[in-house]
Amino acid sequence: MDTTFVLPNSGHHRDDMSSKMGMWLFLFTELLLFGGLFLVYMIYRFKYHDAFLHASYDLNVWFGGVNTIVLLASSMSVAMSITAMQKGNIKLSKNLIWLTIIAAGIFLVIKSFEWSAKFEHGLFPGMEHYNSMGNGERLFFFLYFFMTGLHALHVIIGAIFLYFIIRAIQKQKVRQDKYMFLENGGLYWHLVDLIWIYLFPLFYLIH
């Protein structure tokens, strides 16, 4: 009985490509999750075109635009943090991740300004002003809160993910020769950016 043979491909060995593939597959599920919402948005924008246009005036293009730039910059910073890690510049890598997290924070702060302004105007589903609006406008605002809210949830999750990566770097579980965790965090973060890239024109730039 040969007890010394070892299976060449083991499910218990580290394999960076498996890790990356798994992450991409997970990103596909996120794409389709939001995709369903985009489908709903598309149908109702088609049906209530004027109401959507009218309702969109309540959104501030500049807030949306700044948030877009903030997220794009955060994508750059997390991509650069991977470069830094590859070059062995651990400190820079960590700082760039911190920058990404800060950008996430800025995004969320701006978002909360936007949202609270709407609450003050009674525009959230269930509030008085909201209930008095027409069907199309109510759908616009519901989709706005649902989609940007779900997106914001992913921003938070992404930021937490990035924080855990910093912790892993500190414990040297992420290093110059082993940084798939960081790459995957970056991939997730870029997804967050990607979703906003579509949310921004669809909600803020209807004209």
Partner 1 sequence: MNPGNHDKTTGQEAHVHIVSYKEHASTFLGLILLTIMTVTVSVFGADLYTLTVLTALAIASAKAVVVAMYFMHLKYDPKIYKAMLGVVLVLFIVFIVLTLIDYLIRN
Partner 2 sequence: MSTHAPSPDLTFFQVAKGIKSWIFTVDHKRIALLYFYSIVTFFIVGVILGFLMRLELIAPGKTIVEAHTYNQLFTLHGVIMIFLFIIPVVPAIFGNFFLPIMIGTDDVSFPKVNLLSWYLYILGGVLALLTLVVGDGPPDTGWTFYAPYSVKTGTNVSIAVLAAFILGFSSILTGLNFIVTIHRLRYPGMGFFQMPLFAWALYATAWIQVLATPIVGITLLMIVAERVFGVGLFDPSIGGDPILYQHLFWIYSHPAVYIMVLPAMGIISEIIPTFSQRTIFGYKAIAYSSLAIAFVGYFVWGHHMFTSGMSGPARIVFSILTFLVAIPSAVKVFNWVATMYKGSIDVKPPMLYAMAFIFQFLIGGLTGLVIGALATDVHLHDTYFVVGHFHYVMFGGTGFAFFGALHYWFPKIWGRMYNIQWANIAFTFLFIGFNVLYFPMIILGMMGMPRRYYDYLPEFQMLNVISTVGSWVLIFGMIIMIVNLINGYRKGAIASRNPWGGVTLEWQTKSPPPLQNFDKAPEVSEHGPYDFK
Using CB under 8 A, list all residues that contact partner 2: 1-3, 5, 7-15, 17-18, 21-22, 25-26, 28-30, 32-37, 39-40, 43, 47-48, 125-126, 134-136, 138-139, 142, 146
Cβ closest to partner 1, residue 86 vs residue 95: 86
Could you tell which of partner 2, partner 1, none binds residue 109, using a CB distance below 5 to 8 A set by kind? none
CA pair distance 205, 57, nearest whole angstrom = 9
CA pair distance 126, 190, nearest whole angstrom = 34
**Who's near 128: CB < 8 A, 6+ residues apart?**
122
State the DSSP string of 131-149. HHS-HHHHHHHHHHHHHHH
Instruction: Give the residues lining the site for partner 1 (CB under 8 A).
Output: 8-9, 13-18, 20-21, 24-25, 28, 31-32, 35, 39, 42-43, 46-47, 49, 61, 65, 68-69, 72-73, 75-76, 79-80, 82-83, 86-87, 183, 186-187, 190, 193-194, 197-198, 200-202, 205-207
Q: How far is the CB of 122 from partner 1 (least distance, A)?
A: 27
Cβ closest to partner 1, residue 68 vs residue 148: 68
Could you tell which of partner 2, partner 1, none binds residue 91, using a CB distance below 5 to 8 A set by kind? none
138 in Cβ contact with 130 (< 8 Å): yes
Cβ closest to partner 1, residue 28 vs residue 119: 28
**Who's near 32: CB < 8 A, 6+ residues apart?**
none
Residue 200's nearest CA partner among 87, 96, 114, 133 is 114
**Residue ranges with strand state E in the chain:** none
Q: How far is the CB of 129 from partner 1 (least distance, A)?
A: 26
Could you tell which of partner 1, partner 2, none binds residue 52, using a CB distance below 5 to 8 A set by kind? none
Angle subtended by helix axes 135-170 and 180-204, to nearest 10: 160
Could you tell which of partner 2, partner 1, none binds residue 90, using a CB distance below 5 to 8 A set by kind? none
174 in Cβ contact with 94 (< 8 Å): no
Could you tell which of partner 2, partner 1, none binds residue 197, using a CB distance below 5 to 8 A set by kind? partner 1
Could you tell which of partner 2, partner 1, none binds residue 3, using a CB distance below 5 to 8 A set by kind? partner 2
CA pair distance 165, 84, nearest whole angstrom = 14
